[in-house]
Amino acid sequence: MPARCSSRRPRPGVTNHPDNHQSGAGRLVTVPNILSLSRIVLLPVVLLFLFRRQGIAAVAVMAVSWVTDALDGYLARRLNQVTNMGRVLDHLVDKVWIGTVLICLVYVSDLPLFIAAAVILRDILILSGSMVIMKTKGSFVSSDVVGKTTGCAFALMILFYTLRIPALMRYTTAVNYTVGVLIAVSFVNYTAVFLRKMVRFRLPGEEAQ
């Protein structure tokens, strides 16, 4: 799922939250986690419509997925069910969803392969880094404004290539260039966050926290 315009995490940056002292099963079987998994259930439906070139139907199912993406974060906070396990599941589902849809669009809608590959590689590295931080520091990296902006750009790019509105196709190069720049910027941003957390790296003039 495009990381996103909204997030399960209550604030940007790296957060620490206990897992609410629940059992393993209790932490996994929650309403927010069920909503996260529902996006995986809906994913084959999205792919089916994409392969059938039924763009409007595909976008409709995507919209349902994106609503559940926003809703699971809201409910996690409202029901006091914010856990590191839930964050990992949420991120993992998002990465699988985005990567699978982009690969499909490469085949059915002429999305450049290098764009899909760059997004997938970025997401794998970010997820791996987040797991390392959680394992070693007991905290999880949440999306900041750069991550959310990039996630929104991914969503718009998916809509662009799914609907392929003739009047807008003249902007294909601009869309690809913009997304490419955001991929690079967001990866550098996440790398800086990782280094700050792991080795207390600071940019010149930046105060230590």
- Identify the domain containing residue 58 by its residue range: 20-199
* Cα–Cα distance, 89 to 92 (Å, whole number): 5
Q: How many domains does the chain have?
A: 1
Bridge partners of 142, per DSSP, are: 13
The SS3 of residue 141 is: strand
* Cα–Cα distance, 151 to 183 (Å, whole number): 10
Is position 209 within any domain? no
Is position 13 within any domain? no
Structure tokens at 150: 């990039």
Is position 3 within any domain? no
Is position 14 within any domain? no
Is position 205 within any domain? no
- The string over 120-156, giving b where at least 16 C-beta atoms fall within 10 Å of a residue's C-beta and e elsewhere, is bebbeebbebbeebbeeeebbbbbbebbbbbbbbbbe
- Could you report the per-residue pLDDT of 165-189, keeping only the tens digit for each? 999 999 999 999 999 999 999 999 9
Tell me the whole-structure pTM to 2 decimals: 0.80
pLDDT band at 66 (very low <50, low <70, confident <90, very high): very high
Is position 207 within any domain? no
The CATH number of the domain where 184 resides is what?
A: 1.20.120.1760
The SS3 of residue 10 is: coil
pLDDT(198) > 70:
yes
Is position 158 within any domain? yes
* Cα–Cα distance, 173 to 189 (Å, whole number): 24
Q: What pLDDT does residue 27 have?
A: 60
Query: C-alpha distances in angstroms, 163 versus 49, 70, 154, 179?
Result: 11, 23, 14, 17
Q: What pLDDT does residue 20 have?
A: 43
Please report, rounded to a whole number, the percentage of residues in the chain having pLDDT higher than 70. Answer: 82
- Could you report the per-residue pLDDT of 93-140, keeping only the tens digit for each? 999 999 999 999 999 999 999 999 999 999 999 888 888 888 887 777
DSSP per residue, 3-68: --SS-SSSSSEEE----TT--HHHHHSSHHHHHHHHHHHHHHHHHHHHHTT-HHHHHHHHHHHHHH
Q: What pLDDT does residue 200 have?
A: 65
Is position 204 within any domain? no
pLDDT(207) > 60:
no
